[in-house]
């Protein structure tokens, strides 16, 4: 954003495939499609925040340019329009129309395609067959296993991986310098911990944290992200393993009541910290992880969070005493 004559204006510059980081093999394969002007149906699968939608937009822009993009490319979010009627009307109407200009085909991008119902996916399969001459589909999903096999067999599958911490650190540092936001080293480490390879989440956390104070610190990041400090989680686990159940439960209640951290988030952070503990035997880790999985299932079935997490800490105390 830039302030011009008292009005905030946005300077938009579309990025290209060359600017996508840490998806080397994927980008190189997509560049071949741009160079040859040939494109099969595509399926982009991988964790959130790794550049799947961005790659689809970059591919369409590199193929069509600014003018051709507006008339020959459409993006739909399948989580909003997930029923069979959307496939039979909006998608089918766009697919059957003739491409405009000198381009041989149009592109339909279905984001979050794994949210499409089974009936909608069956209808989509038929649409992909009927209009493959003048239309290409790019399906984007987090879990390719939720896409029916007939659709997977009709697409070239591209698997995206999480963004490394080094790349996220570099991008966050670049954004903070451009926006004149001060980020402490602890704050940067906290952003990397919360992001877990999701660049979109890292940028959102940075933006939210920068709106609170003059600098983005470790405490600020954890407070706005709804996550507990890893040191608190580790301390709670260590107390439980030493048999100090009351002290461990006190930290648990403090996290849930004072900081408002949800039970599933605490359980997930416990899972992360258990794996990295050095002073716990391997057989103890396997027992702890097995019980964490059981508690996770109970919570998903609607069990009381306080009772289940207290039971988990009690189990830790029992295993630690063995």
Q: How far is CA 215 from the centre of its chain?
A: 26
Tell whether 176 and 63 lie within a shared domain.
no
Question: What is the Cα–Cα distance from 77 to 96, expressed in whole angstroms?
Answer: 20
Yes or no: say if 107 and 75 are a contact pair by the CB < 8 Å rule: no
290 belongs to a structural domain:
yes
9 belongs to a structural domain:
no
pLDDT greater than 90 at residue 309:
yes
Residue whose C-alpha is closest to residue 123's, from 156, 181, 84: 84
| pTM of the predicted structure, to 2 decimals | 0.80
Q: Which residue, 225, 242, 272, sits at the end of a domain? A: 225
Range of the domain at 207: 165-225
Q: pLDDT tens digits for 30-81?
A: 888 888 888 889 999 989 988 888 888 888 888 888 777 888 888 888 666 6
Q: pLDDT tens digits for 208-238?
A: 999 887 789 998 898 888 888 899 999 999 9
Amino acid 1: pLDDT: 45
Q: pLDDT tens digits for 119-129?
A: 888 888 888 88
Average pLDDT on 291-316 reads 93
Q: Which residue, 225, 240, 272, sits at the end of a domain? A: 225
Question: What is the Cα–Cα distance from 277 to 103, expressed in whole angstroms?
Answer: 57
CATH number for position 135: 3.40.50.300
Tell whether 268 and 303 lie within a shared domain.
yes
Q: What are phi and psi of 153, to 5 degrees?
A: -70, -15
Q: pLDDT tens digits for 134-145?
A: 889 999 999 888
pLDDT band at 260 (very low <50, low <70, confident <90, very high): confident
Question: What is the Cα–Cα distance from 257 to 251, expressed in whole angstroms?
Answer: 10
Tell whether 27 and 113 lie within a shared domain.
yes
Indicate the average pLDDT of the chain. 85
pLDDT greater than 50 at residue 3:
no
Q: How far is CA 251 from the centre of its chain?
A: 29
CATH number for position 255: 1.20.272.10
Tell whether 154 and 27 lie within a shared domain.
yes
Q: pLDDT tens digits for 149-158?
A: 999 999 999 9
pLDDT band at 244 (very low <50, low <70, confident <90, very high): very high
Yes or no: say if 321 and 241 are a contact pair by the CB < 8 Å rule: no
Question: What is the Cα–Cα distance from 266 to 250, expressed in whole angstroms?
Answer: 14
Yes or no: say if 231 and 219 are a contact pair by the CB < 8 Å rule: no
Amino acid 270: pLDDT: 93
Q: How many domains does the chain have?
A: 3
């Amino acid at each position: 954003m830039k302030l011009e004559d008292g009005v905030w204006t946005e300077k938009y510059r579309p990025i290209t495939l060359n600017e996508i980081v840490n998806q080397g093999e994927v980008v190189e394969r997509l560049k071949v499609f741009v160079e040859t002007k040939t494109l099969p149906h595509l399926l982009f699968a991988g964790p959130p925040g790794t550049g799947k939608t961005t790659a689809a937009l970059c591919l369409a822009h590199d193929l069509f340019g600014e003018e051709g993009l507006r008339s020959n490319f459409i993006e739909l979010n399948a989580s909003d329009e997930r029923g069979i009627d959307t496939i039979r009307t909006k998608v089918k109407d766009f697919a059957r129309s003739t491409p405009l200009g000198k381009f041989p085909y149009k592109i339909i991008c279905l984001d979050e395609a794994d949210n499409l119902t089974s009936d909608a996916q069956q209808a989509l399969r038929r649409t992909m067959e009927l209009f493959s001459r003048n239309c290409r589909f790019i399906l984007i999903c987090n879990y390719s296993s939720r896409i029916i096999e007939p659709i997977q067999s009709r697409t070239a599958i591209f698997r995206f991986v999480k963004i490394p911490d080094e790349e996220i650190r570099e991008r966050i540092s670049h954004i903070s310098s451009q926006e004149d936001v001060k980020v402490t080293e602890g704050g940067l480490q906290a952003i990397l911990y919360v992001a877990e390879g999701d660049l979109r989440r890292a940028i959102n956390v940075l933006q939210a944290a920068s709106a609170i104070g003059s600098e983005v610190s470790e405490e600020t990041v954890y407070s706005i992200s709804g996550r507990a400090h890893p040191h608190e989680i580790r301390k709670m686990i260590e107390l439980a393993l030493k048999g100090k159940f009351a002290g461990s439960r006190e930290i648990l209640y403090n996290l849930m009541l004072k900081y408002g951290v949800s039970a599933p988030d605490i359980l997930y952070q416990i899972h992360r910290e258990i794996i990295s503990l050095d002073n716990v035997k391997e057989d103890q880790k396997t027992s702890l992880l097995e019980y964490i999985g059981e508690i996770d299932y109970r919570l998903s079935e609607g069990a009381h969070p306080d009772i289940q997490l207290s039971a988990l800490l009690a189990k830790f105390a029992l295993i630690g005493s063995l």
